[in-house]
Amino acid sequence: MLLPVLFLSFLSFASATPRPLVLWHGLGDSATSKGMLEFAQEIRGVHPGIFIHSVYLDEDLDKDRRAGFYGNVNEQVEAAAEQISAIPELADGFNALGFSQGGQFLRAYVERFNSPPVHNLITFGSQHTGVSDVGVCGPRDLLCQIARRATKAGVYSPWAQENLVQAQYFRDPANLAAYYAANHFLTSINNELVDSRNTTYARNLASLNTLVLIKFTEERTVVPAESSWFGSEIVEDDVAYGSQHVLESGRTMLSMREQPLYQEDWIGLRELDERGGIEFLECKGQHMQIGDCWEDIVRQYAS
């Protein structure tokens, strides 16, 4: 009887081992910042023995932070995919958690690569349908202030679309023609351009077990905040689906389920949703003020 007991004990241990977890930090942060390292350690307190990898674009902390403001996002996602594929511990798949813009970058990884595959994708305050304004910087954050001014000055210029990260997910609902013509990142991962629509993106995103979309209740950085739930800001002439929702801010919104991206299932959201694979959650507070909101989410979806 000893051998079966040992075998069952092994199975119990194996099933209890959490999947590896990949993190991607947000704007103004880096993979090895104090905050990211502390967060990873807190996750290990919830899931002892978990393997965690934090995506970096440069091993130097300051250069990695700078890459969150300046660079070509398509190239950054490709570099992250190469990095992930080279890590043996991730070879059988992993859960992924992205902060702010790191969330839509991980979604781009899922849609374009997903090898090794992602099981659950968790996004905190991510700009899935873009932003229509650039977030306010801290008074002493010179790097952010320079990038913000450059983005607002010429968001759809070729230089901005190649070099300013925030510009590459800036979606002006009053100037969609310029957005469609200039943008090569957000239009791509949202399959907005008919002539270049990629069915692989929909197949890969729909392969997720769960997509966890987290919005902050007092969001002021992501404009509109509903972008974190795939809500899309529109102008009246663009209303072709669903009903309008005029917010207190005066912006007009369509929810995820009311827009063509979902109804025509450009990226697999509808398929994922119809089998119960999307969770809409909220964290109380402003952008990235996670507090203790993360723990139950990580406990359930990063195990």
Q: What CATH code is carried by the domain that includes residue 56?
A: 3.40.50.1820
The reported pLDDT for the residue numbered 151 is 65
In a domain, 11, yes or no: no
In a domain, 13, yes or no: no
In a domain, 294, yes or no: yes
pLDDT-above-90 percentage for the chain: 75
- What would the two tokens of residue 289 be? 């003020």
- What would the two tokens of residue 105 be? 């970058």
In a domain, 161, yes or no: yes
Burial 289-299 (b: 16+ CB within 10 A, else e): ebeebbeebbe
**DSSP label of 54:** E
Per-residue pLDDT of 63-121, as tens digits, reads 999 999 999 999 999 999 999 999 999 999 999 999 999 999 999 999 999 999 999 99
- What would the two tokens of residue 129 be? 């349908």
Number of domains in the chain: 1
In a domain, 15, yes or no: no
251 Rama sector, left if φ>0, alpha if ψ -120 to 50, beta otherwise: beta
In a domain, 232, yes or no: yes
Residue 48 belongs to domain spanning: 20-301
Per-residue pLDDT of 171-215, as tens digits, reads 999 899 999 999 999 999 999 999 999 999 999 999 999 999 999
